[in-house]
Structure 1
Amino acid sequence: MDTVVANWTAGVAGWSAEQRRRLAGVNPYVLDSLLALFSAAVSVWSVWNDEVDRPWWVYALAVGTALPLPWRRRRPMSVAAASGLVSVGVSVAAHSSMPQIPVYAVLAVYTVADRGRDWQRMLLLAVVVVSNVVGTRSADGMLFSLLLTVGTFVFGSLVRELRRLARVEAERAHEVGLRAASDAARAVAEERGRIAREMHDILAHAVSLMVVQAEAGPVVVRSDPERAIRTFDTIADSGRDAMVQLRRVLGVLKEDGAGPQLAPQPRLAELGAVAERVREAGVRVRLELPGPGHVLPADVEATAFRIVQEALTNVVKHAGASAAEVRVTGTGDVLEVLVSDDGRGVRPRADRAVSDWSGGRGLVGIRERAAACGGRAEAGPRADGTGFLVSARLPLGAAVLVERARA
């Protein structure tokens, strides 16, 4: 039984939706013209069934009450005024011929209540109430007329409010859709930027070391074969390390629904291997890292690793330095990262501070990584014009501070 009732309800709902779609596609002038014909027929029928034989012009007035209705949506107040004036003529000339339910009046009042301006609605309501009280000859007739016209006005006002609420909901849904599309586009852009930074850090570091080692290998292959062997071993190690990290990145991209939390998260302990490869490239590296008991968030640790890796890559590629120093220290609620070298640097300008120095794509990536963690990074030449300095301050977050307090 429940299934039958559910199927019947679904069928009625579907039929109603289909009927609403069909009605929505009908020209409003055609629909209002049909309503005008119906109203005219009701008025003529009322005159025809009057106890008194009425002349032809009374029939004409009865039809005239419905003539303006096809334009009720476009000019609601004008249509209501025209129909009302003709109705007054019928009431004065042949009051008993007035229909019990004046369809034209119902349609006119409903349309003004739904589509009219506020002053038009209030004016019509006052006129309707006064005319029903003054123009009706019996108390019962007055009450019925008031219930009919005022009820129609209230119903039209309710439809007006529902239509307004529907517009508000539609606008809100549109704004939500735009916001969702904007958030999705922003998320895609951020993810693309994150992947680009990962790929840049992995490839730039590995390829830079491989190029430097490959250029140095032929120079020492005859004079120092052992060093040449170590050089080519370093090239192979750099290539293998880059392949491992690339597989990790590409593996995350292939997984459906994989988020940033699944991305490779290098640790600061791995910087020893990075520093060793840079030493093999001919740059002395002094490395200072936090102790093993130092608690760091995974994202902050990965960001610090990538910043140091990119800075050392730039030392090998551009600085022409013989030595570099890396210091990663935790002070209070901030992790500080400093990478400096003794290379050629960049000649500073008096009108530009170190923090205003833009640099290339790698330095932009350093700033973006620091900003993603809620921190700040700066890169530029030293004040004396010798060497280059990269510094970053990364907040550790409240969770780490609580964990340290408990320890």
Structure 2
Amino acid sequence: MGKNVLIAGLGLIGGSLALAVKKEHPEAVITGFDVNERVMKTALALDVIDISAPTLSDGAKDADLIIIAAPIRQTVAIIHDLAALPLKEGAIITDAGSTKKTVCEAAEALKERPVTFIGGHPMAGSHKSGVEASRVRLFENAYYIFTPSRSEHERTMIRLQNWLKGTKARFIRLDPDTHDFFAGTISHFPHIVAAGLVHQLKEEGQKEPVLNDLAAGGFRDITRIASASPVMWRDILLSNKEVLLAIIDQWQKKMHQVRSMIEEGNEDALHSFFQTAKHTRDALPVRKKGAIPSFYDLFVDVPDHPGVISDVTGLLAKDRISITNIRILETREDITGVLRLSFRAEEDQLKAKSLLRENLYDAYEAP
């Protein structure tokens, strides 16, 4: 197996894939290409890549593996650019896009070239973006979906999985249409709903500004995915249009049913609506990574006492446990308050829970 890898697109996903490949294949030379020169310089400075390529052609010509980690529209453009460039015979080309039918159709342009294209989608992410947020464990235990064409040799698929085994992801295969339906249901459509809720808050908040202050708690949590890249989500939605239009129609029908329940005062129907939702959600896997990045939260009961927050954070810092976010949920005089600590990984969450309990704090996960 050759040792040259090109990462085209040096954001969170591209950078994290570079780190995962480098960890498993330390002999490989990781070349990075990005349209933003500053990003390439940052990737070099952080040792995410070994070499930066001044052009796509320079990076692609000797690459044994090319990973395209860019928004869908750019991914399609890069594929067409690659189809016109000199490429190494036997090279594997894959992508990391959230929709697969559009990308795989674009990859038909590579059919006559001595390379193999296999669509890919690592179903993991972070609340941070950019190459600075890259981390080798981003994909650990996440699903990594491949959409190979039926004509691909099994040996090529195995080669790609060997290249990417440093991700420690769970590899599965789907056809592009099935992938896009699954992703549309559990990832793309929830982003539309979250953005819609935020738009509604914005409109109502202009009339009643206090709404924005009240939304700082639970509302902000349930709409957190609305903070994702507008460019990325514009491209995803347009590339998965047919699936999303059907899901939106189903959603509108369901909301019309709920509206009728409320209008008619149908207590039994409303109770059943929420009970079914509760049972379904409670049955979802807790310890697995899905399409939407998980929070690894820990709740800590703390007394109303000066210095208690610094004591909690100091204990974690001493044990080198990194907190990504901290929020005070309740601090009223003379009662126990609650801190919510967020972590990058479940391992950090569990270590923090054990450490805080050893120091007599009541630390627990959300039910």
Range into which the TM-score falls when normalised by the shorter chain:
under 0.3
Quick check: which one's helix share is greater? 1
Relative contact order higher in (CA < 8 Å, ≥ 6 apart): 2
Select the structure of larger CA radius of gyration. 1
Give the TM-score taking structure 2 as reference length.
0.23
